[in-house]
């Protein structure tokens, strides 16, 4: 098998806030004197960025968000991600940003988005990584905040925003609270991305599809408990963003060897592999793929199929998707033809 690091990749499930590296977190803590200054990077990794359970993870997420106060703080994370994309050979990324978080602190979520879009265009022209954005509504914040997020997404649809998402606490407000906003967004040409079936039951995924018109599901591992749902997702080409290490570290599904990924893949459900939060979980996309190979006995052809699925399940326009899949295939061919080290 060609080395995983060398293969071209797409990453579809990547929260900007959760991409904060421990060293960037410490920089911001020093900047705002939030009391973590005395910690080392190792201590942040070993203590703060470790989670007892899902609520504990959400609590850390909140601590991180309290350190993101102006566009420069968000740009610092995007800077780190630009390097990560090069190291991981990620050619296409959909990054999730929640403007409702700065709004909740009384900050300018739109100005942050404008800075992020400008910076992501620069990254694309300097290193070639194609970056698109999903604006995420925070489930516990309610429909008014979601409406503002949808309108912001619509305003910047031509500048790199491709989708409206629903994230946050799956067990908080009901999905139907968001039906009107998401139907509006879909009618206004935004793709729909919904976190569902991570810790909630398969019904959450049904509702994401039926009520919100989800084009893709964040996580969705609980679909493995419902054969009809698996068939539906397969037949309607609704992808699941699977995040093995995230599931392990939040306790959503342990151990990795028993993650439903293997079953979902064998049933033909369109699955991709993702880190979710490479900073908070300290995992790279290559490591995720490596774990999948190890625990689910994947062959080279399976790895290539999953990587191509990453482009196929993306929110790129059809023509661009086909062109990028062709480039991936050419690169796979090139890598498999190049002789191994003699």
Site string for Zn ion, 276-315 (x = CB under 5 A): x---------------------------------------
Q: How far is the CB of 246 from Zn ion (least distance, A)?
A: 7
Q: Which residues pair with 271 in a beta bridge?
A: 240
Residue with smaller CB distance to Zn ion, 13 or 26: 13
Q: How far is the CB of 121 from Zn ion (least distance, A)?
A: 24
Backbone angle region of 180, left / alpha / beta, with phi > 0 → left and psi within -120 to 50 → alpha: alpha
284: which residues sit within 8 A by CB, 6+ positions away? 84, 87, 88, 275, 278
Residue with smaller CB distance to Zn ion, 218 or 239: 218
Q: How far is the CB of 136 from Zn ion (least distance, A)?
A: 8
Which residues ranging from 159 to 198 are in contact with Zn ion (CB under 5 A)? none
Q: How far is the CB of 54 from Zn ion (least distance, A)?
A: 12
Backbone angle region of 251, left / alpha / beta, with phi > 0 → left and psi within -120 to 50 → alpha: left
> For the purposes of burial, counting CB atoms within 10 Å of the CB of 267, is it exposed (0-12), middle (13-18) or buried (19 or more)?
middle
Per this entry, what is the length of the chain? Answer: 342
Q: HSE, CB side, 13 Å, CA atoms: give it for residue 266.
A: 11
Count of positions on this chain that bind Zn ion (CB under 5 A) = 2
Residue with smaller CB distance to Zn ion, 170 or 276: 276
The window from 170-178, 182-190, 206-214, 274-282 that contacts Zn ion (CB under 5 A) reads: 274-282
Residue with smaller CB distance to Zn ion, 208 or 298: 208
> Which residue, chain included where needed, has tokens 């306790």?
251
> For the purposes of burial, counting CB atoms within 10 Å of the CB of 242, is it exposed (0-12), middle (13-18) or buried (19 or more)?
buried
Which residues ranging from 211 to 240 are in contact with Zn ion (CB under 5 A)? 218
Q: How far is the CB of 110 from Zn ion (least distance, A)?
A: 22
Residue with smaller CB distance to Zn ion, 22 or 218: 218
Residues that bind Zn ion (CB under 5 A): 218, 276
């Amino acid at each position: 098998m060609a080395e995983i690091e060398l293969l071209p990749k797409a990453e579809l499930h990547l929260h900007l806030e959760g991409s904060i590296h421990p060293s960037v977190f410490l920089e911001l803590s020093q900047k705002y004197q939030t009391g973590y200054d005395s910690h080392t990077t190792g201590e942040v990794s070993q203590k703060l960025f470790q989670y007892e359970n899902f609520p504990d993870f959400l609590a850390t997420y909140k601590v991180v968000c309290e350190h993101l106060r102006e566009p420069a703080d968000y740009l610092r994370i995007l800077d780190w991600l630009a390097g990560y994309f090069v190291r991981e050979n990620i050619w296409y990324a959909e990054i999730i940003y929640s403007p409702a978080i700065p709004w909740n602190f009384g900050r300018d979520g739109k100005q942050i988005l404008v800075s992020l879009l400008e910076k992501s265009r620069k990254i694309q022209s300097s290193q070639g990584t194609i970056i698109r954005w999903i604006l995420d509504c925070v489930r516990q914040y309610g429909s008014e905040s979601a409406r503002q997020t949808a309108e912001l997404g619509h305003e910047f649809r031509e500048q790199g925003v491709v989708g409206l998402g629903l994230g946050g606490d799956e067990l908080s407000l009901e999905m139907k609270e968001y039906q009107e906003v998401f139907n509006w967004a879909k009618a206004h040409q935004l793709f729909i991305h919904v976190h569902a079936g991570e810790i909630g039951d398969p019904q959450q995924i049904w509702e994401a599809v039926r009520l919100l018109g989800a084009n893709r599901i964040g996580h969705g591992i609980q679909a493995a408990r419902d054969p009809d749902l698996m068939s539906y997702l397969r037949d309607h080409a609704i992808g699941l963003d699977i995040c093995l290490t995230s599931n392990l570290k939040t306790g959503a599904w342990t151990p990795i060897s028993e993650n439903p990924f293997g079953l979902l893949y064998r049933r033909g459900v369109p699955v991709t592999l993702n880190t979710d939060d490479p900073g908070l979980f300290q995992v790279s996309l290559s490591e995720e793929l490596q774990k999948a190979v190890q625990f689910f006995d994947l062959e080279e052809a399976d790895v290539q199929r999953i990587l191509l699925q990453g482009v196929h399940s993306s929110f790129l326009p059809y023509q661009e998707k086909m062109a990028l899949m062709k480039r991936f295939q050419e690169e796979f061919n090139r890598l498999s033809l190049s002789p191994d080290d003699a």
